[in-house]
Each structure stands twice: as C-alpha cells, then as structure tokens.
Chains A and B, each alone.
Chain A
Amino acid sequence: MSVLVENLTVRYGDLVAVDNVSFEAPTGSVTVILGPNGAGKTSTIEVCEGFRTGQGHVRVLGLDPAKQHRELTNRMGVMLQGGGVYPSARVKDVIRHFCALHGKGANATELIHLVGLGARSKSTWRRLSGGEQQRLSLALALAAKPEIIFLDEPTSGVDIDGRDVIRDIILGLSQEGTTVLLASHDMAEAEKVATHAVFFREGKILASGDMKSLASARKRLRFTSTPGLVTAELAVAVKSPITVISEGLYEVASEPTPQLMTRISQWLADNQHPLLGVDMGTENLEETYRRFTRSPQ
C-alpha cells in the first residue's frame, strides 16, 4: 500500500478542515480525490506530501511524511495546483534545475518533449499559456522519477491536446507501477484514468474504494413518463425510493432487474400512465459525485 491514511484530522484554528478521515491508495493505482472546494482534498494531500501536519496516522511509501520528509522527497513527485515557478525562469532551465536537484538521471530534454513543450523550451514561465504551465509543472514532478506522484488539478485550464498528453503520462506512470494520487474537479478526465476514488465533503470522506466496487453501487434505472407522478405510491409499489430527476424523468435507486421493471410497468399501467422511455445503466463519475456531495450526510 503506497498511501495509508488513518483517522486523519487537520485543524486551522477552530476550523476542522479534515475530520477523522481514512483511506488507502494501493501501489500502482491512480486514486482520484474528488469533492467540492473546501472539502479537505488539498489539506489531505499536503499532509501526505509532508507540507502540513495533522492528527492521525499517515504513511506514504511506508514513511512518515512529516518526520521523514527528506527521504520522501527522493521518491515522490509533486505537481502543485498552480504556480511554483519563478515567472522569469525559462522552461529548459527550470526542468534542468529540478532534474539536477533530484539527481536521479531524469533527462531534461526528454521530459520537455514528453510533456509537449519542445517548441517552447526557451520561453519563460510567464509567457506560457495556462495549459503549458500545467504541463511544465507535470514535467517538474516527473524529474524525481517518482514512486508516487501527487497531482493537484493537473488538467485545469488545459486544452484537449494537452489533456491527451497528461492522460497518457498518468496511464504510463500507473503501468510502470508508480502510484498516482490525483485531486481533480474534472470528472470526465478523472474517470478515464482512475482505478480508485475517494469522495470528500466538508472534511469527511463520503465513500472510497476501487472504481469497480463503486460502480456496482452506482447502478440505477431511469424511466420517462407523465410529469407529476405520485412517487410516494410508486415507491411503495416498487419497494424502492423514487427520485424526480427532471420533469417526467424518474430514477429508481435500485439495481435494474426484470422484476423491478415489471412492478414499474404494472403500476404505470394500473394508473393509466404511459412508459415513454427506459434507461438502465451505471452512473458516470460525475453523477455519483453529485449524488454523494448533494445528499445529506
């Protein structure tokens, strides 16, 4: 297990930013940390990076990130949410600098080309676009040849081509056995690379696990019928809660089975409502995120 977080609490004065959370990130996994702004994602990641301390038990690559920070820096890469480079620094200079500091033989020229900045190697940080700055940040994190890499919003402000580059790099790292911990708001991108997910809200973890187990809990059935159905009666008939998604669109929070379909069809027929459409499947990550972050805790 590359990351082990047990009963972590982080306080800023009276504010409890992270409230007794626990999760794990297996070696070689891509664990995506999701949640609204202020949910505690960055604080948790900063504790794992060793930049912040909290109460609880945290181990990264078997090391205490606060007490063994220097040892950890030899084995981890960090991509910050923004900034981190002096505005007048040139791309090739800053990548060379970080490769030299880590001293693990990462080749600066290869890294520049890996993140697609070959044509911009003489540009200064301030002259790069937002997406190019993100790719440079990723290159700096890779200079460590890391066993674990922390990525905070890696695709924020990045165009489609840049996203492809970053996604390929993340998937490549995972295949080589590097553990990736990724905080993101970009659900579509996260879904493409994640093997595990952790959902944060108001400093607590609402759900966590591998994508398959989370997906099995994300099965649902939606159907379209007359607007304004008496959902309370329908819920009793189908023995599952019913949610109105939008006008005439309903969701049954239950695994779609022939028996469930039969009960719904029967109730609609008995009450003389049409069945206009049916959608059975699995929530995408964004739908799951919305369900977790909007539902009462």
Chain B
Amino acid sequence: MKRIAIQLRAELMLLARNGEQLLLTFVIPILLLSFFGSVEVLPSGDVEPIQFLVPGVIAVAIMSSAMVSLGIATGFERSYLVLKRLGATPLTRGQLVVSKILSVFCVQIVQVAALLALGLFLGWEPAGNQWPLAIAAVLGGTSAFAGIGLVLAGRLRAEINLAAQNGLYLLLLLLGGMVIPRDSLPSAASTAAQVLPSTALADLLRTTLNGDSGALLVPGTVLCAWAILAPAIAAKRFRWS
C-alpha cells in the first residue's frame, strides 16, 4: 500500500505539471456538452438533447481520460524509458497499474463534478436518484477504461499505441451509444455493442442519473467484468521496457 501511495503521489504531481494534457482532458467534454447541449443536431428522439447528453458525455470524459490520456501518457513513459527505470525499483506491475488507475479516479472526481454542474446549468434534470450506483458506474468505468488503455500501453510501442488508443476510442465512441443513440445503429451492431464497456457505462449512467427505463443487470455485469479483467490483464502483461 505504501508504494502505491508513493507512486500515486508522483503520478498526480506529473499530471499537475502537464497542464496542457489536463486542460485537454477537461475542456473537450465541456465543449462537447456545451455545444451539443445548445444545438439540436443529435438524433436524440423524444428525449431532450441535454438529458441524453449529460450521462453520455460523462461516459465520454471517463473514456477519454481513463483510456486515451492515460494510455498515451503511459506509452510516452515507455519511450522516455521512465517505465524501464521504474522496473528497476521494488514497485510491482500491479502496484503501478493500481496507482495509475487511482490517479485517474482523482481526476474523474473533479471532471464529473464539473460536467454535472454544467449539465444542471444547461437545463439537465436528474431523475434517477441512484447516486451510489452512478458513482459505482463511474468507478467501474474508470477501472475498465484505464485497464484497457494500460493493456495497450503496456505492450505496444509509443507510436502504435497512440494510433491504437485513438482508433479504439473512435470505435467505442461510435458504437457505445455515448453521443449517438444506439437505436440509430443497425440492429446487429446495436446488439453486439452491448458487450462493450462504453455501452455498459453509458447505459448505466442514463439509468442511474436520468431514471431511464433499462435493466441494470446486463450493463452492470458487463462493466464489472471489464473493470476487473482489463486491469488484471494489464498488470499481468505489462512490460517495463
């Protein structure tokens, strides 16, 4: 536990010193919510765009910072030989993965709070009243996406990792019902997308924050599986150099 705390402190310190990365992490979801919340261009059907968007953009923000930002930063750490040097200390792969996920949790607290506040300002009306479940979904989503990001960053060269993270992000964004309703997808794709963590997270957040009618069991199980398996695989397969 002590080494996780030491590494977490270093991760947060580095995050704070990389202002541009942090800014991007915060600004993009806020811009997305502000723009699409004000302009009716999304096929959200009978639902008010802002009602559809708030849970979706929170899911996008979690995916962006937990998977893409963390994954790319970790890939660069490999090319800077930072990981190799850490590999020569008593810090284990598992401890590194846990500290990185915890550092993203810390960012998520501020990010999600900012998005909820902006959503309320833009007219979003929370209706689910299932805050504990929503928080669990945020934690599960962060763990799942951070795990996926670290699986890629832990094995691939920095340049390939960069392309893979962005490619996967686009795929999960389009298929996951985060900003485009899943009903708009071909039925086969919509069904297959249920096993994606992005779909599970977006569905859970809509049910818990908006009170949308939807089962919690399937997305809950899917997200739980990703949240456990992805970090476990990352810790097992992570390469220091």
Contacts and interface: CB of A to CB of B under 8 A. Distances in A.
A and B found bound together = yes
Interface of A: 46, 49, 51, 70, 73-74, 76-78, 80, 82-90, 93, 97-98, 100-103, 124, 140, 144
Given A70-B92, A89-B14, A102-B89, A84 B80 contact: yes
Most-contacted residue by chain A among B6, B80, B81, B89 (CB, 10 A): B89
Contacts of B85: 78, 80, 84-85, 140
Interface residues of B, number: 25
Given A51-B240, A89-B14, A103-B2, A84 B90 contact: no
B126 interface: no
Nearest to A100: B6
A88 B89 contact: no
- The 6 tightest CB contacts between A and B, nearest first, are A84-B85, A78-B88, A83-B81, A84-B81, A101-B89, A88-B17
Contacts of B236: none
Interface in B66-98: 77, 80-82, 84-92
Given A80-B85, A84-B85, 8 more contacts: A51-B240, A73-B90, A84-B84, A85-B82, A88-B14, A88-B17, A97-B9, A101-B86
Contact of B7 (A46, A101, A144): A101
A49 B81 CA distance: 15
B241 interface: yes
B187 interface: no
Nearest to A52: B241
A12 to B, nearest CB: 14
Nearest to A87: B80
B3 interface: yes
Interface in B183-228: none
12 contacts: A51-B241, A70-B92, A73-B90, A77-B88, A86-B77, A86-B82, A89-B13, A98-B89, A101-B7, A102-B90, A103-B2, A124-B17
A101 B82 contact: no
A78 B88 CA distance: 6
Nearest to B77: A86
